[in-house]
Structure formats: C-alpha cells, structure tokens
Amino acid sequence: MSSNNILIIGYVWPEPKSSAAGTRMMELINLFLSQQWQVTFASPAMLSEHMADLNKLDIQTVNIELNNPSFDEFVTQLNPSIVMYDRFMMEEQFGWRVQEHCPNALTILDTEDLHCLRHARHLAYKAEREVTNSDLSSDIAQREIAAIYRCDMSLIISTYEMELLTTHYKVNRSLLHYLPFMLDIEHLEKPRLSFDERVNFISIGNFRHAPNWDAVRYLKETIWPLIKAKLPKATLNVYGSYPPPKATQLHNEKQGFLVKGWCDDAHLEIGKARLCLAPLRFGAGIKGKLADSMLNGTPTITTPIGTEGMHGDLPWSGIVTNDEQAFADAAVALYNDNVNWQQFVENGDALITNFYNKTTIGTDLVTRINTLTSSLSEHRLANFTGTMLRHHHHKSTKYMAQWIEAKNKNI
C-alpha cells in the first residue's frame, strides 16, 4: 500500500446530504482515508450550513483565494503527491500554480458529470430540438475537454460520457477512468418496509440543480394532476436542499403536492415511499436519487435521461418513458401492483451489486492511481496535446491572474 499526500481543490465544500456530487466526493475521501493517505481539502467557496465536518475525519481544511499568490506558498509547503480538482473550473484557476510549484504531482480531474453535456442538453431542451454538434462545441465544452487533456487522469461517472469523450471528442482512454458511484452493498441487507407498509410517492433533488427544478415543475404542472386523478388519496413528498420561494410556493395540501425541502436522512424518507418519481428532461452523469432509490428498495418511474449510463444490459428498477401520460399511467399501475413492484426491487438489488460495489470500484481506482504515479513521465510524454494545452493555458492564465493580483493591490 503506497502512502500519498493528496490535495483536493473543491469547487464547493462537500455536502453529502444535499447533492449526489457531495455524496460522491465523500465516497472518494473515504476511499483515500482507507488507504492511510493524508487528505487536505481546500476551497475558495464560502462555508455552508450543510457541509460535511471534515475535521472530524482528521482532514485538514484550508480556505484558499482565487488569483492570490498565497496559494503558491500553501501548495509548496504541503507538497502533495496528488492533486485532485473538483470540476474543471478549479483546474482552470489553480492548475498553473500546481504545475509551477508541484510539477511532479499526479493531477486528477473529478468531472462529477460532464458540464458541457448538461449545458448542451439544456440549450436543446429550451429550444425544443435535438442536441447538435454546435451545442457540443460550446465554450464550456472547449474549456472542459481542455482541462481533461491537461490532467493526468479524469474520473468519468457515466458509461455514456466515456463513450462521448472517446468517440465524439476523441479523447484517449488512457486519460480517462470510469468511476460510478461507490456504494456499500451491505446496505441491501438492511430491513426494508414491504409494499403494503409503504405509502405515497417521493421526488428528491437539490433545487439549485436546474434539471431537478425542471422535474419538480413538470410534476406539478403536468404529471401529478394525472396521477392524483386516479389516486385521490395519494400524496407526493418533494424533498431537496435549498428550495427557493418559487418552489415552496408550489406546496398545496389539497392537491397532495407537498414541498418539504431539506431532508436530513434521504435513505429514511426514500425507504418509506412506494415509488420515486424522477421525470428528468435534461442533464448528465448518473443520478444519485435513482441509485439511492435502488439501494432502499424503492422502484422508480423515470426517463431515458434518468437511467442513462446506469444499468448496462440489465433490466431497470422501474419503468422508463418520456411520454407524460405514459409516465402517469405507469406510476398509477405500479402503485397498485405488488408483483411487478417486487420484481423491480430485485432488479435494483442486482444493479447495485453488479455496477456499484464500492470495494471493487475503489480497488480499481487505487490501482490505477498507483500505476500512473509510478510511470508519470511516460504517461505525460504520450499526452502531447495535454502538454501543449498546459503550456499555452497556464501561461495565459498566469499572466491574467498576476494582472488581477496587481489590480487588487492598487485598489
């Protein structure tokens, strides 16, 4: 077992109870800690109410500033053997400083999901058309793909995104590592409520995430009235962190549409519901709400965007459709169908076991990191495009940062 000193530069402080991204970050942190690696987490973001208490895990936390040379002294003293950027924006901001002061550190980009794909789909959705090559060649796409090339390895959460990067963007697979959610399959052995013990529907997701907010509006305006007409006693409990006033205003007791906001224990609430509704119309990555539903034996009604990259050739843990009437009909039918409901629960268990076992996934990642660390020079020589992009980007970013520093001093 190698000993590493890893610096994680976070776009935000991890909030595992607020978002799938926060949960994924804690999965990675716990994996690194299990290897007895020294972990430091630094971020320029404001401290948040729901952030994880990293200090309890003996993780050093550091507030860093954008365009400030204080980072140079910090990273030089820390001298990490690995630097992991949380989202491409952090690599853009701090990559040149790491390269200058810790040139031998292995650099990893955790994309969370491909922002350029989510952006492209959002553009197409708003324009009511299919995604085009132009959408996939946006400024965000150019920035994100360039960051992937500049890093030694990028963590990609979805099989669909792996394929998109290698076929559409022509990124060499040697720069990528497929890393879905790392889940504790022992959770499947915990006692669960039966079909008859569960009531009502649940929808869950961080309201700051545009696909989640769109799904809530879609449920409220279109899908839930169709379900409620057939199941007048049912309610839909809508959970999610950071609900804005426009979301809480959708709460309507008479309609059974209950916007409950923050949820301290998502597993508990999901495990009470008979079905999870996730009518996602755009987005990227894989969906934490759907993984949590499978983990807690709750079948889902969702869309192809929801299940993308999540189940391979195995059957899904619920019903998948893009049609709003079919979505509502499926929810009503499955709500009253114990036999199919139980089959979907078993499908979910099989998916978690086959695709999301944290032990095997974690072992593969650690092995890959150790292999790259031992052959870093050769790996970088084979990535001429990344070397070229580092040279040009880091020079321009460095001079821009120094200009901002000088400007701030004058102010």
Domain boundary among 338, 355, 372: 355
Q: Residue 2: is its pLDDT beyond 70?
A: no
Indicate if 346 and 333 belong to the same structural domain. yes
Considering the domain architecture, whether residues 43 and 166 belong to the same structural domain is answered as: yes
Check whether residue 201 and residue 320 sit in a common domain.
yes
Q: What is the mean pLDDT of residues 289-299?
A: 97
CA atoms of 355 and 343, how far apart (whole Å): 18
Read off the pLDDT of residues 355-394 as tens digits, 9 standing for 90 and up. 999 999 999 999 999 999 999 999 999 999 999 998 887 6
Sign of CA dihedral 391, 393, 398, 399: positive
Domain of residue 347, CATH code: 3.40.50.2000
Percentage of the chain surpassing pLDDT 90? 92
Burial of 324 (0-12, 13-18, 19+ CB in 10 A): middle
Do residues 49 and 132 share a domain? yes
Count of the separate structural domains present in the chain: 2
Q: In 3-state terms, what secondary structure has residue 9?
A: strand
> What is the C-alpha to C-alpha distance for residues 376 and 7, in angstroms, rounded to an integer?
18
Cα 132-137-138 angle, rounded to 5 deg: 105
Domain co-membership, 136 together with 230? no
Mean pLDDT of 142-148: 97
Q: What is the pLDDT of residues 223-233, one digit of tens each?
A: 999 999 999 99
DSSP at 97: H
Which of 355, 371, 393 is at the close of a domain?
355
- Residues 131, 144 share a domain: yes
Verify that 66 and 146 share a domain, yes or no: yes
Point out the domain boundary residue: 333, 355, 377.
355
Same domain, 242 and 381: no
Q: Please tell me the distance from the alpha carbon of residue 323 to that of residue 346, in angstroms, as a whole number.
A: 25
Beta bridge partners of 276: 202, 300
299 contacts: CB under 8 Å, gap ≥ 6: 275, 276, 293, 317, 318, 319, 334, 341, 344, 345, 348
Give yes or no: residues 40 and 161 share one domain. yes
Percent pLDDT > 70 in the chain is 95
What's residue 404's pLDDT?
66
**pLDDT band for position 49 (50/70/90)?**
confident
Contact of 152 with 372, CB cutoff 8 Å: yes
> 186-192, long-range: CB within 8 Å, 24+ apart, which pairs?
187/267, 187/295, 187/296, 188/295, 188/349, 188/352, 188/353, 192/271, 192/296, 192/297
Residue type, 369: I
What pLDDT score was predicted for residue 411?
60
Query: 46 to each of 24, 27, 154, 385, how far by Cα in Å?
Result: 20, 22, 26, 35
From 174, 255, 177, select the one nearest 222 (Cα to Cα): 255
- What is the Cα Rg of the chain in Å? 22
Q: How many residues in the chain?
A: 411
Q: Return d(Cα 288, Cα 212) in angstroms, integer.
A: 12
Which residue segment(s) compose the domain that 252 sits in?
A: 185-355
Give the model confidence (pLDDT) of 170-218 as tens digits: 999 999 999 999 999 999 999 999 999 999 999 999 999 999 999 999 9
> What span, in angstroms and rounded, lies between the C-alpha atoms of 147 and 176?
12
Any idea which of 6-10, 32-36, 262-266 has the lowest mean pLDDT? 262-266
Mean pLDDT for the chain overall:
95
Specify the pLDDT at position 1: 46
Tokens of 186: 């022992």
Question: Does residue 274 have a pLDDT over 70?
Answer: yes
Q: What one-letter code names the amino acid at 178?
A: Y
Read off the amino acid at residue 376: L
- Over residues 50-105, the pLDDT tens digits come to 899 999 999 999 999 999 999 999 999 999 999 999 999 999 999 999 999 999 99
2 compared with 169, residue with greater pLDDT:
169
Q: What is the pLDDT of residue 401?
A: 66
Task: Specify whether 282 is located in the same domain as 334.
Answer: yes
pTM passes above 0.85: yes
| Better pLDDT: 218 or 409 | 218
Same domain, 173 and 232: no
Give the integer Cα–Cα distance in Å for 287 and 239: 15
Looking at the structure, tell me whether residues 26 and 171 fall in a common domain. Answer: yes
Q: Looking at residue 5, what is its pLDDT?
A: 97
Question: Which secondary structure element, helix H or strand E, spans residue 341, and what is its range?
Answer: helix 338-355
